[in-house]
Structure 1
Amino acid sequence: MNHTPHTHLRGKLALVTGGARGLGAAITRRLAESGADVRVADLRREQAEDLCVELKEEGFRAQFVELDVRDPAAIAEVFRDLDETVPRPLDVLVNCAAVDVTKPVEELSADEVTRVVTTNLLGPMYMCLETYRRMVAAGGGHIVNILSTASNRTWTEAGPYAAGKTGLRAFTHTLFKEAQRDCIGVGVTGVIAGGMETPFILDRFPDTDVSLLQSPDIVADTVLYALSVPAGSVMPELVVVPRSESTWP
């Protein structure tokens, strides 16, 4: 894919959850290419560190942060560390980390439901709790929550996933309204993404026809576009799906 890097995030500090692979890695790369100093927050240390090394060799800035978004205490510690070691508050947060369990409801365990909903809904909410108040105090910043077509229309074997993404969409809309009230400089955007050619799908469904999927780079560019809107405007929600997407609208 041809891509011309922009530099409108030069000097900004960004953090991407689930940033080690798939869509998260594509977003990390786009942010770094645009000049941001990126923190790659993930549990996949080896993949995240490899990505950071690759980006540094290309002249960009990226650093691994080991983080389980299901753990609010760990999230609070990451932000305390940023407060103490980085001379500026976080400018961009992208909540991308997500998991799924593809089973009918009658076969799901409580642990599986908890894992999916905690990762996909509570994790982003925990991240926003730490980020939002700091952005308001700083007078600006931007939060992007990666949603899914499952937040609009669900399908079988996707109960916990759809519940989590639907809840995150509602939370994102609420946060957007509160930012309008609390600090006009804080942007909040939900990105509804359709099927992508990433491990998130292909690890579970290896026989998927990839011609029906979109590149994660397209979604990463959509995130970058949301961050490029001039002050005074904001995109509260964006939708980007393959032309063949069957789950939209």
Structure 2
Amino acid sequence: MNGQSVTDKVVVVTGAGQGLGEAIALRLGAAGAVVCGCDIQEKQVKNVARAIKEAGGSAYAYVLDVSNEHDVQQTVDRILAEHGQIDILINNAGTDTTLPIEDLTIADWDRVLDVNLRGPFLLSKAVYPFLKRQGKGHIVNITSTAAKRAWTEATAYHASKWGLLGFGHALHAEARRNNIKVTSVVAGGMRTPFILDRFPQTDPNVLQDPKHVAETVHFVVTQPDETVIPEVMVLPLRETSWP
């Protein structure tokens, strides 16, 4: 199969400061991409960009609140001004508040939906006109098995991830007319701070290394021009709660 290379492609990765976002940034940086890492946590995203550069890659750090429409547009405009193009957008930034609905505040709900669902919409909308003019591009949305099943104390998270999966498939149907690819990566549990910091009792042996999910992201963005993978699921073998 004659796939594509990401060498010299400008890749925007949100939530790049830690966890899966960091793993994706490092993997694509190692493959030769120009990584534009975005995160609300400045120190962490700068550290990731520095690590890519020290390994011989090309990376830049941007402080970004994905839920802020003005922040998003300014950051996209800045990346385009500084690099001249955007080829791939990885919507990875995510958050959660683990509470039963009786304890979940409206502000909690809004924050989770703003980051997990509004953010990918804002980023996709901001880069879309450029990708359309460019005649090609790829948007990857990192969703979760939370978009395929449900557990307790996670109404906001499930709503956001089911919504993100629906958004991704709808955008895939729309964007393919403009030669833009859209992929939803459904990730199972990973050994990242997102799980281990919040649920320290979790056995790390039943989770997967985020590097493996990052490898899948690299795989989907290097498909030949004529092929798109609209959805792919990557699970830890021992995560018996799914399916």
Q: Does 1:73 align with 2:73?
A: no
Q: Cα offset for 1:65?
A: 0.3
**What is the aligned partner in structure 2 of residue 161 from structure 1?**
157
Root mean square deviation, CA, Å: 1.3
Opposite residue 104 of structure 1, the aligned amino acid is P
Opposite residue 22 of structure 1, the aligned amino acid is G
Shift in CA distance, 9/42, structure 1 to aligned 2, threshold 3 Å: same
Q: Deviations over 1:172-224 (max 9, x none)?
A: 0011001222x12x111000000000000011011210011000001000100
- Give distance in 1, aligned partners of 2:89 and 2:242: 26
**2:238 pairs with 217, 228, 244, which one?**
244
**What is the aligned partner in structure 2 of residue 124 from structure 1?**
120
**1:148 pairs with 118, 126, 144, which one?**
144
Contact 2:168–2:183, Cα closer than 8 Å, also in 1: yes
**What is the aligned partner in structure 1 of residue 32 from structure 2?**
35
**What is the aligned partner in structure 2 of residue 18 from structure 1?**
15
- SS of 1:143 mapped into structure 2: strand
- Give distance in 1, aligned partners of 2:224 and 2:95: 33
**2:207 pairs with 207, 213, 224, which one?**
213
Higher relative contact order (CA 8 A, sep 6+): 2
**1:58 pairs with 43, 55, 79, which one?**
55
- SS of 1:107 mapped into structure 2: coil
TM-score (norm 2): 0.96
Opposite residue 28 of structure 1, the aligned amino acid is A
Q: Stretches of 4+ moved more than 6 A in 1?
A: none
**What is the aligned partner in structure 2 of residue 201 from structure 1?**
195
**What is the aligned partner in structure 1 of residue 41 from structure 2?**
44
**What is the aligned partner in structure 1 of residue 167 from structure 2?**
171
Match runs of 1:74-153 below 5 Å: 74-87=71-84, 89-153=85-149
- Structure 2 unaligned blocks of 5 or more: none
- Give distance in 1, aligned partners of 2:210 and 2:140: 15
- Give distance in 1, aligned partners of 2:165 and 2:219: 19
Opposite residue 188 of structure 1, the aligned amino acid is V
- Give distance in 1, aligned partners of 2:196 and 2:80: 38
- Give distance in 2, aligned partners of 1:141 and 1:73: 23
TM-score (norm 1): 0.94
Opposite residue 217 of structure 1, the aligned amino acid is K
- Structure 1 unaligned blocks of 5 or more: 1-5
Q: Cα offset for 1:103?
A: 0.7
- Give distance in 1, aligned partners of 2:210 and 2:76: 28
Identity of aligned residues (%): 41
- SS of 2:102 mapped into structure 1: helix
Opposite residue 77 of structure 1, the aligned amino acid is Q
